[in-house]
A and B are shown apart, each in its own frame.
Chain A
Amino acid sequence: MDNEYIRFENVRKEFPGVVALSDISFSVRKGEVHALLGENGAGKSTLLNILHGVFPATSGTVYIDGKPTKYNSTYEAITQGVIKVHQEVQVVENLTVGQNIALGFEMVKGGFLDYKDVYEKCDGILEELGCSFRSKDPVTGLGVGDLQMIAIAKSLYFNANIISFDEPTSALSVPEIEKLFEIIRNLKAKGITILFISHKLDELFRICDRVTIFRDGMCITTKEMSETSNEDLIHLMVGRDVSSYAVRTQPSCADYSEVVLEAKNLSGMTFDDISFKLYKGEILGFSGLVGARRTEVMRAIFGADPLNGGELYLHGSKVNIDSTETALVYGIGLISEDRKREGFIPTMSNNRNVNIPGMGKFKKGMLGLVDEKEMLDNFNNYAELVKLNIRNPEHFTVNLSGGNQQKVIVAKWLSTKADILIFDEPTKGVDVGAKAEIYKLMEDFVAEGKSIIMVSSELPEVIGMSDRIIVMREGRINGLIDKKEDFTEVKILSYAMQEKES
């Protein structure tokens, strides 16, 4: 291949129980902007992490400029000019721009840090990038776009040969994106090779030369951007056997004559104009890419975050849910996507974790002590219902497998008698067997005339489980798919990735 610069050869990465990358082989030309495209979890970031020395590949080789290359740390990669600009740039507040650029690689003269040369060199780079700030300015108060410029300046400071951008535009405004693209074009003109991850297809067409498509940890193909189209790319990204899991085993029991929950023009810090209806007995899917702000909407409905505007109606009457406690009283539960941080109390047993929200019910005597016997009975009932493998009520939830932890959390919310449950990524980090059981619990729940909102980034799950699908993009609802025959990955992805045509 002509002027090939980076070559991945049979790169494979295994994590305990998961194959994240299998036999990735493709190459990147010198001085091109090369896009990596794929669904969440397709393996793009894993590959970049291997390239940048975050962790080693299980097998396979990365060649840079014809030589097999393996960095033992990101530090080593940076000194070799292989640098990554992260999605959210981390800086040390209180230090100056120049100090941040040189952080970890400060120059030393006579035992003291020498910033004079650093500042001089940085100012030259900042000038070249067209930045309005200089190296002696504090980073405090700089915007996201400016921080990204600092990261790019850092890569130039180390004479980068390869720069990777992981979703660089997700937090930028339109003019900032324009400026970034201008800079990327300049970097390219200097002969720097650029890897570019983005979910925004229009950006890829504007800035990239070629694209490599990933699916389920495999590399599907590499294409010239000039020889492909939106539809083509989306088809290449999906195209998987959907029927293999996440299917409804019972007929839909949605009753479209009864609205249970209605959101009218909800807005918050990161989302705007969210309106939808949830019907009795329905599983309403919320699809979208990571960063579409679905979780934020759900947290606001659940009272965990404040709403800036809009109205929420429960069974036709307006409600104001200002705390999670209020949500609990109104019969709304949320099963968080971040189990470890938000799902359970690590120092408590399964019994306690299941009974925590509903504890008010189990009081006895004049002193209002908790009734341990009733709680144990309650635990046993729900542990049986969710088929918890380890039934020991004294067992600590933190020591269970992901699937069993999720069952404990589902049992917790079922026991509160909530009639609306919000499942945020219900099967994230859950093994296949437990997945099927959680799907069944969801079906049983709606069969009782209760309703579910399911946020999921797994397309087969959304397609298989939902009665209707709402697709969000960048904090707004970008599409509603209410006919089963329209439930296709292509359709959902095009709503998730493309600007709404209006």
Chain B
Amino acid sequence: MVSRFIKKNSRSFTTLVALLLIVLVFSILSPRYFQYDNLIDIVNQGVVNGFLAIGITVAIITGGIDLSVGSTMAVVIVGCAELSAHQVPVVIVVVLGILMGVLIGIINGFLITRMNLQPFIATLGTNQIFRGVAYVISNGEPVLNIQGQFRKTFQFQIARGIRMNMIFLLVLAVIFAVILSRRRAGVYIYAIGANENAARMSGINVERYKMFAYIMCSVGAAMAGMVTLARLGTGEPTAGEGFETMAIAAAAIGGTSLAGGKGKILGTVLGAFTISALKIGLIVIRLDTFYQFIAIGLIIILATYLDTLQAIIVRKIAKRKKSQ
């Protein structure tokens, strides 16, 4: 059972090793790095990207992409902020926030499956549209007067530094992982990404399952939005701008193939924490923040190069075996 889990998630363990290496290097460089509060902060900083990344992973597995996750966040942020400012109870705000995500997923899914637009283009367009919607809802200004209860729901500390939003990420990640690996929809999502023609010719309703994938993606973004709203305390319509790139980066570092058909939620979550571990490490050793960009870029390239390297090595071994 354990060995099978390791076998099925071998790529995720590569990411784990990368993460641990980064932690190790910074721990050597600075005594302040390997401390409880700092390590918790790595997780804390990775939560929003984590939500976005597990969602975008599902979209990427189908062979698509969702570039609108940052704006989706913003719509949910100002939407939920308005609701909360109008004294709507927290539970209803959260439910409606998730429904906003579902609706946005349906819109993206409709453009991609019914109007046959390329996912990249469709979501490039909706990214602009949703950003505009966020501005329209908030009239271009931060929404104030969020209920304390709403903030507390996500920010509540169950132990020192461990907040509810981390638990929520854990829960959603587990739900996504179970759907992907243990439910029919997940198997079909992988099948569509690996060979859409063959999936269709096997009687799979490709459109329906793609739609489902984009809904999952936007629900992840909606959760990222609510976590951000609870943190900031005001509904910023500018929030989440450009966040899609870090979400894609986390998925790629975690082993998700942009070609589709391959990827794991576990890897993506580790990928998100790898990025935050690196960011915080650079801050701790007081390197100029400018270097963050370079470092993160290198990590993305190195991590994906590992996949290429692995494939080359596997092929070489196979060749050597054959020639013997």
Residues of A within 8 A of B (CB): 302, 304, 323-325, 327-328, 333-334, 336, 341-348, 352, 356-357, 359-360, 363, 367-370, 412, 416
Q: Are A345 and B201 in contact (CB under 8 A)?
A: no
Q: Are B178 and A357 in contact (CB under 8 A)?
A: no
Q: Are B184 and A328 in contact (CB under 8 A)?
A: no
25 contacts between A and B (CB under 8 A): A302-B201, A323-B205, A324-B202, A325-B203, A333-B203, A334-B201, A341-B198, A342-B198, A344-B198, A345-B194, A345-B195, A345-B199, A345-B202, A345-B261, A346-B194, A348-B194, A352-B191, A356-B199, A356-B202, A359-B187, A363-B184, A367-B182, A368-B183, A369-B182, A416-B203
**Taking CB as reference atom, which chain A residue is nearest B203?**
A328
Which residue of B182, B194, B205, B262 is within 8 Å of A370 (Cβ)? B182
B280 at the interface (CB under 8 A from A): no
B261 partner residues in chain A, CB cutoff 8 A = 345-347
Q: Given the complex of chains A and B, what is the CA–CA distance between A360 and B261 in angstroms?
A: 20
B191 partner residues in chain A, CB cutoff 8 A = 345, 348, 352, 356
Q: Are B183 and A347 in contact (CB under 8 A)?
A: no
B178 partner residues in chain A, CB cutoff 8 A = 367, 369
B85 at the interface (CB under 8 A from A): no
Q: Are B204 and A357 in contact (CB under 8 A)?
A: yes
Q: Are B262 and A347 in contact (CB under 8 A)?
A: yes
A345 partner residues in chain B, CB cutoff 8 A = 190-191, 194-195, 198-199, 202, 261
From known contacts A347-B190, A356-B187, infer whether A341 and B203 are also in contact, taking CB-CB under 8 Å: no
B86 at the interface (CB under 8 A from A): no
Which residue of A323, A334, A352 is within 8 Å of B187 (Cβ)? A352
A333 partner residues in chain B, CB cutoff 8 A = 203
Q: Given the complex of chains A and B, what is the CA–CA distance between A324 and B205 in angstroms?
A: 7
Which residue of A304, A334, A347, A370 is within 8 Å of B184 (Cβ)? A370
**Taking CB as reference atom, which chain A residue is nearest B193?**
A347
Q: Kindly provide the distance from the CB of A356 to the nearest chain B CB, expressed in whole angstroms.
A: 5
Q: Kindly provide the distance from the CB of A359 to the nearest chain B CB, expressed in whole angstroms.
A: 5
**Taking CB as reference atom, which chain B residue is nearest A302?**
B201
Q: Kindly provide the distance from the CB of B321 to the nearest chain A CB, expressed in whole angstroms.
A: 14
**Taking CB as reference atom, which chain B residue is nearest A332?**
B203
Q: Given the complex of chains A and B, what is the CA–CA distance between A367 and B184 in angstroms?
A: 11
Q: Kindly provide the distance from the CB of B8 to the nearest chain A CB, expressed in whole angstroms.
A: 10
Among A327, A346, A412, the most chain B Cβ lie within 10 Å of the Cβ of A346
Which residue of B182, B184, B188, B195 is within 8 Å of A341 (Cβ)? B195
Q: Kindly provide the distance from the CB of B1 to the nearest chain A CB, expressed in whole angstroms.
A: 12
Which residue of B184, B187, B197, B205 is within 8 Å of A342 (Cβ)? B197
Interface of B is mostly: helix
**Taking CB as reference atom, which chain A residue is nearest B205?**
A325
Q: Kindly provide the distance from the CB of B207 to the nearest chain A CB, expressed in whole angstroms.
A: 8
A343 partner residues in chain B, CB cutoff 8 A = 198, 201
A368 partner residues in chain B, CB cutoff 8 A = 183-184
A334 partner residues in chain B, CB cutoff 8 A = 201
Q: Are B204 and A356 in contact (CB under 8 A)?
A: yes
Q: Kindly provide the distance from the CB of B80 to the nearest chain A CB, expressed in whole angstroms.
A: 28
Q: Given the complex of chains A and B, what is the CA–CA distance between A490 and B29 in angstroms?
A: 84
**Taking CB as reference atom, which chain B residue is nearest A328?**
B203
Closest 10 CB pairs of A and B: A328-B203, A347-B194, A325-B205, A357-B203, A342-B201, A369-B182, A359-B184, A345-B191, A324-B203, A342-B197
B200 at the interface (CB under 8 A from A): yes
Q: Kindly provide the distance from the CB of A125 to the nearest chain B CB, expressed in whole angstroms.
A: 38
B205 partner residues in chain A, CB cutoff 8 A = 323-325
Which residue of A325, A328, A341, A352 is within 8 Å of B197 (Cβ)? A341
B190 partner residues in chain A, CB cutoff 8 A = 345, 347-348
**Taking CB as reference atom, which chain B residue is nearest A344?**
B198
A360 partner residues in chain B, CB cutoff 8 A = 184
Q: Given the complex of chains A and B, what is the CA–CA distance between A295 and B187 in angstroms?
A: 28
Q: B13-41: which residues lie under 8 A (CB-CB) from chain A?
A: none
Q: Given the complex of chains A and B, what is the CA–CA distance between A296 and B199 in angstroms?
A: 18
A348 partner residues in chain B, CB cutoff 8 A = 190-191, 194
**Taking CB as reference atom, which chain A residue is nearest B7?**
A394
B198 partner residues in chain A, CB cutoff 8 A = 341-345
Which residue of B187, B194, B202 is within 8 Å of A412 (Cβ)? B202
A325 partner residues in chain B, CB cutoff 8 A = 203-205
Given contact pairs A341-B195, A359-B187, A368-B183, a sample of 17 additional A-B residue pairs in the complex whose CB atoms are under 8 Å apart: A304-B201, A324-B203, A324-B205, A342-B197, A343-B198, A343-B201, A345-B190, A347-B261, A352-B187, A356-B187, A356-B188, A356-B199, A357-B203, A369-B182, A370-B183, A412-B202, A416-B203
B199 partner residues in chain A, CB cutoff 8 A = 345, 356
Q: Are B194 and A324 in contact (CB under 8 A)?
A: no
Residues 177-189 of chain B, each 1 if its beta carbon lies under 8 Å from chain A, else 0: 0100011100110
Q: Are B195 and A346 in contact (CB under 8 A)?
A: yes
**Taking CB as reference atom, which chain B residue is nearest A368?**
B183
**Taking CB as reference atom, which chain A residue is nearest B195?**
A345
Among B191, B198, B203, B205, the most chain A Cβ lie within 10 Å of the Cβ of B203
Residues 239-271 of chain B, each 1 if its beta carbon lies under 8 Å from chain A, else 0: 000000000000000000000011000000000
Q: Given the complex of chains A and B, what is the CA–CA distance between A369 and B174 in angstroms?
A: 14
Q: Kindly provide the distance from the CB of B156 to the nearest chain A CB, expressed in whole angstroms.
A: 28
Q: Given the complex of chains A and B, what is the CA–CA distance between A357 and B198 in angstroms?
A: 11
Q: Given the complex of chains A and B, what is the CA–CA distance between A412 and B198 in angstroms?
A: 12
B262 partner residues in chain A, CB cutoff 8 A = 347
A367 partner residues in chain B, CB cutoff 8 A = 178, 182-183
Q: Given the complex of chains A and B, what is the CA–CA distance between A323 and B188 in angstroms?
A: 16
Q: Kindly provide the distance from the CB of B253 to the nearest chain A CB, expressed in whole angstroms.
A: 20
Among B183, B190, B195, the most chain A Cβ lie within 10 Å of the Cβ of B195
